[in-house]
């Protein structure tokens, strides 16, 4: 006779439905976030919240699957009839009211339940940064004397109690008692001052992979509110992505009109200026900065420039030459234009002559294209 099967009330498999529902809910929320990412990351409420405020996204309510039995084998909606053939259209969904065309009045059919799911800044950032990384990151190492690391490479009989080597001390005690001719009545292990062993170390320079990001933004008078907001939004997420995923990344912020200068991070995201546009000025400033502080042999260099493309025509040839030099010493160079028209600028057409794949060109004409620009530059 087969053994009786006993089902315990404490069996966890019987109580997992809540966990499975939560997992499915989380997957659906992430799916909706990815679908709406282009709109979410340019939302002012998120950018201005500085990570202290949750955002809400609309999504359909989740319903459990269930079986509906066909009582008496009656015909139901969508079942068709015996006269129908494969491919026949059963009916079309109306846009509004029952049996009415679009805009002809209030509808009578029930709708789908829509609710707003709260999403934290961290959840949104983690999903956004899943696909982002520093491209062509080489293992360039440079000794950082200020960050020496201790290396324990020897054991001695004298030292600080904080550095006692417990394992070696126990081994010495066991060895001493094993070779001792005196048989002790108490068989417990005893540690004497002679058994103590201490770790000693030497300091060595810490070699780390380094990277520097040169954030360059056009602050001339041709940059309107839309252009400034889009460029600052791009750099907002770029800065947070780099600080979340990389430890040894340095960032320098450069602003330019006809002349370029270095500014603080706060000034970079808040100040506005006027005047003409000479993009070659910021390229020259970046090259001088690299030559002075960031030798390409020791640093991964990533210049990223955003402008509206309204550059002085006579400056395009000089900008092309300097951009070639910048691409040569960098891992990747990102150049983005924010345009409200369907025509490219003369500067963009000029930079397209550079065939090096390390130069990544993007054009943003709508708010929701910032997400694609991030993926293009950091992929």
Phi, psi of 136 (to 5 degrees): 55, 35
In what helix (H) or strand (E) does residue 243 lie, and over which residues does it extend? helix 225-245
Total of domains in the chain: 3
Q: What is the pLDDT of residue 282?
A: 94
Q: Do 365 and 339 touch, CB atoms closer than 8 A?
A: yes
Give the pLDDT band of residue 287 (cuts 50, 70, 90). Answer: very high
Q: Residues 211, 248: contact at Cβ < 8 Å?
A: yes
Q: Are residues 353 and 295 in the same domain?
A: yes
Instruction: Please indicate, yes or no, whether residues 244 and 320 belong to a single structural domain of this protein.
Output: yes
State phi, psi for 286 to the nearest 5 degrees. Answer: -65, -40
55 and 177 inside one domain: no
- 357 with 215, same domain? yes
* Lowest mean pLDDT segment, chosen from 82-91, 191-200, 298-307, 336-345: 82-91
Task: Please indicate, yes or no, if residue 184 is contained in any of the structural domains.
Answer: yes
Please say which residue of 102, 130, 158 terminates a domain. 130
> Which of the four pLDDT bands, split at 50, 70 and 90, describes residue 360?
very high
Question: Do 301 and 165 fall into the same domain?
Answer: no
At 13, list the tokens: 């498999």
pLDDT of residue 97: 47
Report which of 75, 195, 133 is spatially closest to residue 376, judged by C-alpha positions: 133
Residues in the chain, overall count: 379
262, 267, 271, 274 alpha-carbon torsion, rounded to 10°: -10
Asked whether residue 218 is domain-assigned, the answer is yes
* 215 & 270 share domain: yes
Asked if 313 and 297 sit in the same domain, the reply is yes
Same domain for 197 and 288, yes or no, is: no
Q: How many helices (H) does the chain have, and how many strands (E)?
A: 11, 10
Say what angle helices 225-245 and 121-129 make with each other, to 10 degrees.
80
In a domain, 157, yes or no: yes
- Tell me if 3 is assigned to some domain: no
Domain that holds residue 30: 23-62+115-130
CA-based nearest residue to 317, from 283, 341, 342, 344: 283
Strands (E), 29-159: 55-60, 114-119, 141-156
Backbone phi, psi, residue 341, to 5° = -115, 175
Domain end position, chosen among 174, 206, 238: 206
Cα-Cα-Cα-Cα dihedral sign, residues 30, 31, 37, 40: negative
- Determine the pLDDT at residue 322: 95
What's 269's domain CATH number?
Answer: 3.40.50.410
Q: What is the mean pLDDT of residues 317-333?
A: 94
- What is the average pLDDT value for the chain, to the nearest integer? 76
Label residue 98 by pLDDT band (50, 70, 90).
very low
219/338 same-domain check: yes
DSSP code at position 88:
-
The two tokens of residue 232 are: 């600052």
Name which residue leads in pLDDT, 40 or 144: 40
Question: Which of 42-51, 58-67, 360-369 is the least confident region?
Answer: 58-67
* Interatomic CA distance for residues 316 and 313, integer angstroms: 6
Query: How far, in Å, CA of 111 to CA of 96, rounded?
Result: 10
pLDDT digit string (tens) for 232-285? Answer: 989 988 888 888 888 778 999 999 988 999 999 998 988 777 778 899 999 999
Residue 46: per-residue pLDDT? 63
- With a CB cutoff of 8 Å and minimum separation 6, the contacts of 40 are 33, 46, 55, 57, 124
- Residue 100's pLDDT is 47
Predicted local distance difference test score (pLDDT) of residue 99: 46
- Report d(CA 280, CA 256) in Å as an integer: 10
Confidence band (pLDDT; 50, 70, 90) for 352?
very high
Regarding whether 199 and 185 lie in a shared domain, the answer is yes
pLDDT tens for each residue of 162-193: 788 888 888 888 888 777 755 555 567 778 88
pLDDT at 84: 72
- Sheet of strand 300-307: strand arrangement: 260-263, 249-256, 211-218, 300-307, 333-338, 359-364
DSSP string, 301-313: EEEEEEE-S---G
One domain for residues 312 and 184: no
Could you tell me if 216 and 161 lie in one domain?
no
Percent of the chain past pLDDT 70, that is, above it, reads: 63
Q: At what angle do helices 17-35 and 121-129 cross, to 10 degrees?
A: 70
- Model pLDDT for residues 125-169, shown as the tens digit of each residue: 777 777 788 887 776 655 444 455 566 667 777 777 878 888 888
3-class secondary structure per residue, 62-91: CCCCCCCCCHHHCCCCCCCCCCCCCCCCCC
């Amino acid at each position: 006779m087969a053994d009786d099967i006993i089902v315990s009330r404490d069996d966890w498999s019987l109580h997992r439905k809540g966990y499975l529902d939560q997992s499915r809910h989380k997957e659906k929320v992430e799916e909706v976030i990815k679908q709406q990412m282009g709109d979410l990351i340019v939302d002012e409420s998120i950018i201005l919240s500085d990570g202290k405020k949750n955002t809400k996204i609309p999504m359909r309510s989740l319903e459990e699957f269930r079986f509906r039995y066909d009582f008496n084998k009656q015909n139901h909606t969508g079942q068709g009839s015996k006269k129908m053939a494969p491919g026949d259209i059963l009916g079309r969904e109306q846009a509004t009211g029952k049996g009415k065309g679009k805009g002809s009045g209030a509808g009578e059919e029930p709708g789908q339940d829509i609710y707003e799911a709260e999403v934290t800044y961290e959840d949104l950032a983690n999903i956004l940064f899943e696909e982002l990384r520093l491209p062509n990151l080489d293992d360039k190492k440079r000794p950082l004397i200020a960050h020496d690391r201790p290396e324990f490479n020897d054991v001695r009989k004298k030292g600080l109690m904080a550095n006692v080597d417990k394992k070696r001390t126990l081994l010495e005690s066991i060895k001493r008692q094993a070779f001792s001719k005196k048989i002790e009545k108490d068989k417990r292990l005893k540690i004497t001052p002679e058994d103590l062993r201490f770790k000693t170390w030497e300091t060595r320079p810490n070699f780390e992979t380094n990277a520097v990001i040169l954030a360059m933004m056009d602050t001339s008078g041709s940059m309107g509110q839309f252009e400034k907001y889009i460029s600052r939004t791009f750099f907002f997420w770029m800065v947070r992505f780099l600080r979340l995923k990389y430890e040894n990344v340095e960032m320098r912020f450069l602003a330019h009109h006809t002349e370029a200068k270095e500014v603080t991070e706060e000034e970079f995201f808040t100040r506005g200026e006027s005047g003409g546009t000479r993009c070659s000025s910021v390229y020259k400033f970046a090259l001088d900065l690299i030559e002075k502080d960031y030798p390409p042999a020791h640093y991964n260099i990533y210049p990223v420039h955003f402008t509206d493309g309204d550059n002085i025509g006579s400056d395009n040839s000089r900008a092309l030459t300097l951009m070639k030099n910048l691409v040569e010493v960098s891992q990747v160079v990102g150049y983005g234009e924010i345009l409200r028209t369907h025509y490219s600028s003369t500067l963009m057409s000029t930079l397209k002559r550079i065939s090096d794949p390390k130069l990544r060109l993007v054009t943003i004409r709508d708010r929701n294209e910032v997400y694609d620009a991030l993926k293009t530059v950091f992929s």
